[in-house]
Amino acid sequence: MRKTKLPSGNEIPVFGLGTWRMGEQQNRFKQEVNAIRAAVDLGITLIDTAEMYGEGGAETVIGEAIRGCRDNLFLVSKFYPHNAARDDVVDACEHSLRRLDCDYLDLYLYHWPGSIALSETFDALHELLDSGKIRGFGVSNFDLDDLKDIPVADQPLLGCNQVFYNLAHREVEWAVADWCQQTGVPLMAYSPLDQASSMLQAPALKAVAARHDATAAQIALAWLLHQPNTVVIPKSVDPRRIEENLTALNIGLSTEDLVELDEAFPAPDIPVSLGLR
């Protein structure tokens, strides 16, 4: 598994498993647990979740799935903006750890910007870091102005900015990606396949896929993996689809491929706000 360097000096796998919508229905619990175990068996060690997903249900699913193998994993979770006050961040983290049945998180992310002073939130994150409950912190869905509002000393310490990013939605490239690249902060792309959209039916994507004897989804993931310092976290509960997605790591896109995809899915040429899903 390829990895990219975090500002902390630690490394994060460039490919992981998303868990949005897991933990919402009890009758899917076993299927979701098995999907996560299958992903781990395939060599996926990065698992992303949030206290919002199933109101803690996804974390409970993960806790069951990773019992006995936590030390080999890179776990990411996120806290609500309404839990961004100092004591609330600490409490939210402890609740997540109990649901995950583990002692620490590799990355703990502020899920999206809220109204609490960022200085207070980051003081809490440092408290969690000092106590060993987290090994790094970061943000999610932070646009350029939000990133600049983070305490200056903490900006280069961010483990990632997790954003809505895929071929059809390149809003992050207008300004956020450059800031992250200059600061050394990885991007973590959620919804990399733009679920429920027509992206995967695009003729250009299908043409590139045909040249590589690959699926459109594999090419869409390979394109993201080609972007600098970018991590992808596609979600699936189908072990066959997880394995298929993982194969994107082995696809090398040519200059011709990249030009064709760029023409079909152009980056924004005017200022745009960061996409949010």
Sequence ranges of the domains in the chain: 3-196+230-236
**pLDDT tens string 252-268:** 999 999 999 999 999 99
Q: Is 228 exposed, middle or buried (0-12, 13-18, 19+ CB in 10 A)?
A: exposed
Q: Please, are residues 208 and 180 in contact by the beta-carbon 8 Å criterion?
A: no
Helix (H, G, I), strand (E, B) or coil at 88: helix
For residues 169-186, average pLDDT: 95
**pLDDT tens string 197-241:** 789 999 999 999 999 999 999 999 999 999 999 999 999 999 999
Residue type, 203: P
What's the pTM?
A: 0.96
> Is 53 a residue of the active site?
yes
Cα separation, 239 vs 26, in Å, equals 19
> Of the candidates 238, 202, 229, which has an alpha carbon nearest to the alpha carbon of residue 217?
202
> What's the confidence (pLDDT) of residue 148?
97
Catalytic pick among 53, 108, 110, 165: 53
Q: How far from 224 is each of 41, 88, 175, 265, CA to CA, in Å? A: 23, 34, 17, 13
CATH dotted code for 3-196+230-236: 3.20.20.100
